[in-house]
Amino acid sequence: MTQTSQVQVSRIGPDGMTWLDTVRFDSQGLIPAIAQNVQDGEVLMVAWMNRESLAETVATGRAVYWSRSRQRLWRKGEESGHTQTVLGLRIDCDADVILLEVEQTGGVACHTGRRRCFYRRLTDGVWQETEAPLVDPETIYR
């Protein structure tokens, strides 16, 4: 995801479209993006991307998402320092979900201070926390 990737952003395929043109964004211009730890396959988080965030992710090799609550680009780790280096990108069969194969810096992907966002499991009809925070979120977010 370095200089070579920047060249690939504008490469025209046999169908006359760029790779970015083939992505199926929803009616709001968004696509779900799953961040997966490249070392062990663990799903760390799910976020949203728009065309601009996806293009920047490919160009820079760092995960960039679209924050629906802030209505702006969200460069993962911009406040916490817990960045995601993108080592690979995949798209599903319908071209409407992106999978980012990432290396997570700092060991924390979730804004709650946990390694991953999926830290609750349904047990006997109750959501049980299965992982404690690794860091106090108050210390990493302003």
- Summarised one tens digit per residue, pLDDT across range 62-118 is 999 999 999 999 999 998 899 999 999 999 999 999 999 999 999 999 999 999 999
What is the reported pLDDT for 69? 93
Query: Band of the pLDDT at 10, cuts 50, 70, 90?
Result: low
What is the reported pLDDT for 119? 95
Q: What is the mean pLDDT of the chain?
A: 91
Overall average pLDDT of the 25-39 stretch: 98
Rounded Cα gap, residues 120 and 129, in angstroms: 4
What is the reported pLDDT for 6? 44
Specify the CATH superfamily of domain 3-140: Phosphoribosyl-AMP cyclohydrolase (3.10.20.810)
Query: Band of the pLDDT at 9, cuts 50, 70, 90?
Result: low
